[in-house]
Structure 1
Amino acid sequence: MKQHIITRALAAACALACAVSLAGCGASEEGKIRIGIKFDQPGLGFKKSGTYVGFDVDVATYIAEELGYTRDEIVWKEAPSAQREAMLQNGDVDMIIATYSITDSRKAVVDFAGPYFVAGQDLLVRDDETEINGPEDLNGKRLCSVTGSTSAVTVKEKFADEVQLMEQPGYAECATALFSGIVDAVTTDDIILAGLASAARGQLKVVGKPFTQEYYGVGIKKGRSDFAAQINDAIEKMIEDGSWERAIEVNTAGTDYSPNPDYNPPTPTEGE
């Protein structure tokens, strides 16, 4: 019964997020900063009781305040993985901080500041799973990842002949598929999986063998090097004053997760 309740809660989170994202569309956004985040990623970007919480939210809030905006002057926008480039190109948001990996293909159409974090793609499995202990055990397995994510691309490039990939619009749906046995594992960045495992209260676990490095950047519109420099200054300050480390600790509490010290904290140099 407990598992059923958790599964329903994870699945409902994404549906709620979609509905909430439509609210307030008629409100004036003049004099405010519009920031795209995820609404369905526990520990990173999550809509909870009328507020937004998570590591990405904390980073975004810190940057916005360094740019001169108050918390009340931040307009949060849902930024699904497959829509992020279009949102920046169309001017729907001023920046996107949504587990947004910096890649050459993305840099062809948008710019980045950062990175502000370096994650690694890993695997999330049910707590009683014994056969999957790393990427070497994926042959014949069914995986779930999110449409438009670098994780899904990596699976197609590295494991296309070994696994069956299900793509979903959000990680809540992937977690639901994992609980129900439709898939054997969920794959994406380790810090995202840590948030999902925390929300599942011990019924899911991260394998703990990352096989990529994902440099999270702040997505901005093409040609704004001055804006990138300001964002990078804010990220550097967040790291130096200890706010970055505290945000990691708060948002991964209750898990064994810690950032890879070989890559974190990163030096923000993109876009300048």
Structure 2
Amino acid sequence: MVRTSARTRRTAATAIAALSLAGLAACSGGGDAAVPGADKGKQDDLLAAAPVASSLPAGSTMEKIKQRGQLVVGGSLDAPLLSQQNPATKQVEGLDADFGRLLAKYIIGKPNVKIVNSASETREALLSNGTVDVVLQTYSINPERAKQVAFAGPYYTSGLVIATKKEETGIKVPADLKGKTVIAGANTPAIPAIKKAAPDAKIITFGSDPECVQALKQGRGQAYVQDEAVLLATAKQDPSVRIQGRPFTSDPYGIGLKHGDAQMKQFVNDWLKQIQASGLWAKVWKNSIGTVAEGAAPQPPAIGSAPGSE
């Protein structure tokens, strides 16, 4: 997996510790437990306090987005706590969704966002062909991906965990995946992590988290390896799914950008530094992942600290 700096590892440990406690608590209870939703009033407060760029370079990607009046984001509509459409309000809620709106306001002056629902195997193409301006979709930074896209950030750090059916007793740690059929998202860091932990495991892939969870519940695999931030809400909502143990990797999330646009990357990184320093970053976390994970918001990772984000 990706090697991180000492500061990033400390940041990851803080975030993962908070998330792990919530994940374990979610798995130990019985019955259906509803995951708290985002507070609409707090979302409005976040947007009201969000900064707007004082000026945009002429001819830049940012100026073109402002002229269009809408930021086009490659993302999800079905990722609880991260980017999920509320069926009642039709609003897309979660950590990634809120960051997308804040970035749109910074560029345009208004939080106008269009989300293009993308799969993990299509994100690079959507950026390179200009279908989307940015990707905000638990997009783990690594040097191999950085050959195809640019990464601003990292803006968050998570880690891979193993999920199984509740009744599974033989899988607790990565070494237990040996000889098992393991489910993973297509084109995700889970695939090399599984191969490293259990080289003889059979890996089957699907394009989205809901498809992977459904495959696990159907018994098509004995385990599912995914970011803990993605699985927390699933395990809380569905008592038939259990998170086994703690994260065994550290995965920095980046904002995907078109390769070669250094001006846009610097602009987004400067924006990230602003919302971190102002406390907006912590408030976004508290109104999304923080509705399940107990305790104060973790320290955000240092910008440019992950290999592939320099």
TM-score tier by shorter-chain length is 0.7 to 0.9
Q: Say whether the 8 Å CA contact 1:121–1:190 is kept in structure 2.
A: yes
Residue 93 of structure 1: CA displacement? 0.7
Residue 254 of structure 1: CA displacement? 6.1
Q: Comparing 237-246 with 120-129, which one deviates more in the overlay? A: 237-246
Letter in structure 2 aligned against 1:215: P
How many residues are aligned here?
Answer: 240
Letter in structure 2 aligned against 1:241: S
CA 1:115/1:258 → structure 2, altered by over 3 Å: closer, same or farther?
farther
1:118 matched to which residue of 2?
157
CA 1:177/1:242 → structure 2, altered by over 3 Å: closer, same or farther?
same
2:190 matched to which residue of 1?
151
1:75 matched to which residue of 2?
114
1:266 equivalent in alignment to 2:290: no
Q: Distance in 1 between matches of 2:192 and 2:207?
A: 14
Q: Distance in 2 between matches of 1:114 and 1:228?
A: 9
1:184 matched to which residue of 2?
222
- Find 2:209's aligned residue among 171, 177, 181: 171
Letter in structure 2 aligned against 1:265: P
1:52 equivalent in alignment to 2:92: yes
2:141 matched to which residue of 1?
102
1:11 matched to which residue of 2?
none
Deviations along 1:233-267, one digit per CA (max 9) or x if unpaired, are 22222222333223323323564577996xx4101
Q: Distance in 2 between matches of 1:139 and 1:236?
A: 42
Partner SS state of residue 220, structure 1: strand
1:92 equivalent in alignment to 2:126: no
- Find 2:166's aligned residue among 111, 124, 127: 127
CA 1:157/1:259 → structure 2, altered by over 3 Å: closer, same or farther?
farther
Partner SS state of residue 267, structure 1: coil
Q: Say whether the 8 Å CA contact 2:82–2:289 is kept in structure 1.
A: no
Q: Say whether the 8 Å CA contact 2:146–2:309 is kept in structure 1.
A: no
Q: Comparing 111-120 with 181-190, which one deviates more in the overlay? A: 181-190
CA 1:42/1:154 → structure 2, altered by over 3 Å: closer, same or farther?
same
Q: Say whether the 8 Å CA contact 2:183–2:204 is kept in structure 1.
A: yes
CA 1:33/1:109 → structure 2, altered by over 3 Å: closer, same or farther?
same
1:245 matched to which residue of 2?
282
Q: Say whether the 8 Å CA contact 2:154–2:309 is kept in structure 1.
A: no
Structure with the greater relative contact order (CA < 8 A, sep ≥ 6): 1 or 2? Answer: 2
CA 1:199/1:233 → structure 2, altered by over 3 Å: closer, same or farther?
farther
Q: Say whether the 8 Å CA contact 2:178–2:199 is kept in structure 1.
A: no
Q: Comparing 152-161 with 83-92, which one deviates more in the overlay? A: 152-161
2:234 matched to which residue of 1?
196
Q: Say whether the 8 Å CA contact 1:125–1:184 is kept in structure 2.
A: yes
2:243 matched to which residue of 1?
206
Q: Say whether the 8 Å CA contact 1:40–1:47 is kept in structure 2.
A: yes
1:229 equivalent in alignment to 2:269: no
Q: Say whether the 8 Å CA contact 1:191–1:257 is kept in structure 2.
A: no
Residue 96 of structure 1: CA displacement? 0.5
Q: Distance in 2 between matches of 1:213 and 1:34?
A: 28
Q: Say whether the 8 Å CA contact 2:165–2:241 is kept in structure 1.
A: yes
Q: Distance in 2 between matches of 1:255 and 1:74?
A: 26
1:220 matched to which residue of 2?
257
Deviations along 1:148-189, one digit per CA (max 9) or x if unpaired, are 11212322344231x221111111111112222222221111
Q: Distance in 2 between matches of 1:129 and 1:140?
A: 15
CA 1:250/1:48 → structure 2, altered by over 3 Å: closer, same or farther?
same
1:24 matched to which residue of 2?
none
Q: Distance in 2 between matches of 1:122 and 1:258?
A: 20
Letter in structure 2 aligned against 1:61: R
Normalising by structure 2, we get a TM-score of: 0.70
Normalising by structure 1, we get a TM-score of: 0.79
CA 1:251/1:69 → structure 2, altered by over 3 Å: closer, same or farther?
same
CA 1:259/1:111 → structure 2, altered by over 3 Å: closer, same or farther?
farther
Q: Distance in 1 between matches of 2:294 and 2:199?
A: 28
CA 1:260/1:181 → structure 2, altered by over 3 Å: closer, same or farther?
farther
CA 1:82/1:65 → structure 2, altered by over 3 Å: closer, same or farther?
same
Listed as ranges, the gaps of 5+ residues in structure 2 are: 1-31, 33-66
